[in-house]
Amino acid sequence: MRVPRILSALLAVMTAVMAWPARAAPVEVTMWDQPESPAYVDWWRKHVQAFNASHPDIHVTLEMFETESYRSKITSALAAGTIPEIFYLPAGPQGFQAFRDHQARSIAGLLDASRFTDAAVKACSVEGTLVCMPLYIAPNLMYYNKALFAAAGVDPSHWADPTEPTWQEFTAACDALKSHHIVPIGLGTGDGWPATMYLWSFQDRFGGVGELAAAASGKGGMTYASAPGFRRGAQAVAQLGKSRWLPLGYNGITGGQKYTLFTAGHAAIIYQGPWLLPRIAADAPTNFSFGVFKFPSFRDGEPGSQKDVIAGFDALFVNAKTQKTAAIAAFLNSFADPSTALSFLRETQNVSVIRSAVTAGMNPIDNEIARLIASAPRISPWWDNYMPNVVAEQATRTIQGLFDGSISPQAYLAGMDKAAGR
C-alpha cells in the first residue's frame, strides 16, 4: 500500500530535521550612548539595525539616555559593576580610570586602529594602550547668524583675524547687536554644561592648558581658587551674566530650547559643538546662512593659548569582564568601514576621525571647522574629559549661580576645590 510508504518517508524527513543542529542564539551585545543630536540618534539606530540584519549571529541593542541622566547612570553603573558590554564616555579621566580599575578593557587587537586618525588614537590611549574607540572630535566654536550680523552692521571680515575676534571686537559686535534689539548670545544655562563651556574657554585664554593641568593635579600646591586663569575666568563668566547680551530668563532655558534660540533667528551667536549642525539642517529656515569663528582672544591673556580650541573626543569603551569580544570587535570595526564612516559624517555632521571619511566627505562648513582645528597650536580638553568626574559635575551643577550672581567667583572655585578633596 502507498500509505506505509508515505508514513516511512515522513518519518525519515522528521528524523532528519530533528537530527539537524539548531541554530545557536545570537550573541547579545548592549551599547549605552547619549543623544547628542536627533540626527546622531537616527544614524545609530539605522546602523545597529543594518548591522543586526547582516550579522544574524549577533544582536546589538542600543540604549540612549539624556546627557544629564546618563552622567549619573554611568557613574552608578561603574560603581556597581553593572555596565553593559559597550558604553559611551568621553576620552578622558572617567573612562581612563575605568580602564585602570579593570572595568574597561584595552581594545588593542579588537579595533583596526589604522583606520583612525593619529590624533584620535592618541586621545583614546593610556600610556600607549588603546582603551576606547574614538567616535568624532567635537570642537567648541562660535556659530553666528550672517543675516543678523548684517542687520546690526557687524562684518567679521573687518576683524583683524576674521576667524577669531579679539575680546574688544567681540564685545563691540555684541553691543551693536543689542542696540538693534537682537539678542547677541543664545545661551540657556538650565542644563549646566553649555554654560560651563564659557568658563572652560575663559580659563584657557587666561591661564592655558598648563595651568589647567597644574590646578587639576594640585602641582606646586595650585588649586582652582588660587590659579589666576581660573579666577579671571570665573570673574569673566560673572560679568557675562550681567552683560545683558543673554536672552531673558536664560537660567530657565534647557534642552532643545537653547538650540532653537539660534536656529529660529532669535539670537545671533551660539557657542556649541558640531552637534549643532544637524539641528541647523533640520530646524532652521532653508535660507539660513551662518558662519563660524573661534572663541575670542585676549591681548592680556596667556600668550601661548590665544589660538587654542576647546575640544573633546567622544568614544566607546568595552566592559573588561565581557567574553563577547569577537562580536564586539565586529560591531566596532563596522563603524570604521569607509561607506559607514562617510554616512556618519554626512548625516550627523560630526567631525570624523576616520581617515577615509576625512579624505572624501568634507563639505564647506566641515572644511572650515577642520581648518580652525588645524590652526590651533593646542587642543584644550573639555573639563569633563580631564578633571575627576566629581569636580566636573560640581562645576556644571553650580554654574547657574556663577552666571546669575547667587554664587561668587571665589565661592564657585572653592566648591570645585572641596569636590577635589582639598
Q: What is the CATH number of the domain that holds 306?
A: 3.40.190.10
User: Phi and psi for 220 in degrees, rounded to 5?
Assistant: 65, 20
DSSP per-residue string spanning 344-362: HHHHH--EE-BHHHHHH--
* Residue 318 included in any domain: yes
Question: Among 157-166, 202-211, 374-383, whose mean pLDDT is lowest?
Answer: 374-383
pLDDT (mean) for 54-68: 94
pLDDT of residue 349: 84
**214 and 324 housed in the same domain:** no
The per-residue pLDDT of the chain, averaged, comes to 91
Confidence class of residue 9 from pLDDT cuts 50, 70 and 90? low
pLDDT (mean) for 237-252: 96
**254 and 371 housed in the same domain:** no
* Residue 14 included in any domain: no
To 10 degrees, the CA torsion angle through 222, 223, 228, 232? 170
**185 and 111 housed in the same domain:** no
pLDDT of residue 123: 87
pLDDT of residue 4: 54
* Residue 340 included in any domain: yes
Strands lying side by side in the sheet with 290-293: 183-185, 267-272, 141-145, 290-293
**274 and 167 housed in the same domain:** yes
pLDDT of residue 382: 86
pLDDT of residue 10: 52
To 10 degrees, the CA torsion angle through 241, 149, 138, 367? -160
**266 and 342 housed in the same domain:** no
**230 and 341 housed in the same domain:** no
pLDDT of residue 12: 56
64 strand-pairing partners: 33
**38 and 56 housed in the same domain:** yes
Confidence class of residue 251 from pLDDT cuts 50, 70 and 90? very high
**189 and 294 housed in the same domain:** yes
Question: How many domains are contained in the chain?
Answer: 2
Q: Pick the closest to residue 291 from 140, 163, 136 (CA basis).
A: 163
pLDDT of residue 15: 56
Whether residue 129 has pLDDT greater than 70: yes
- Domain interval for residue 107: 27-138+311-376
pLDDT (mean) for 198-209: 96
306 or 36, which is more confident?
306
- Rounded to 5°, the CA angle 381-387-388 comes to 150
* Residue 22 included in any domain: no
Whether residue 20 has pLDDT greater than 60: no
CB 334 within 8 A of CB 350: no
* Residue 235 included in any domain: yes
pLDDT (mean) for 191-211: 95
**76 and 134 housed in the same domain:** yes
Of the ranges 149-158, 310-319, 346-355, which is most confident? 149-158
* Residue 19 included in any domain: no
**204 and 325 housed in the same domain:** no
* Residue 15 included in any domain: no
**100 and 242 housed in the same domain:** no
83 or 356, which is more confident?
83
Whether residue 323 has pLDDT greater than 80: yes
**223 and 355 housed in the same domain:** no
Whether residue 21 has pLDDT greater than 80: no
Confidence class of residue 388 from pLDDT cuts 50, 70 and 90? confident
* Residue 53 included in any domain: yes
Whether residue 17 has pLDDT greater than 60: no
- d(CA 56, CA 71) in angstroms, rounded, equals 32
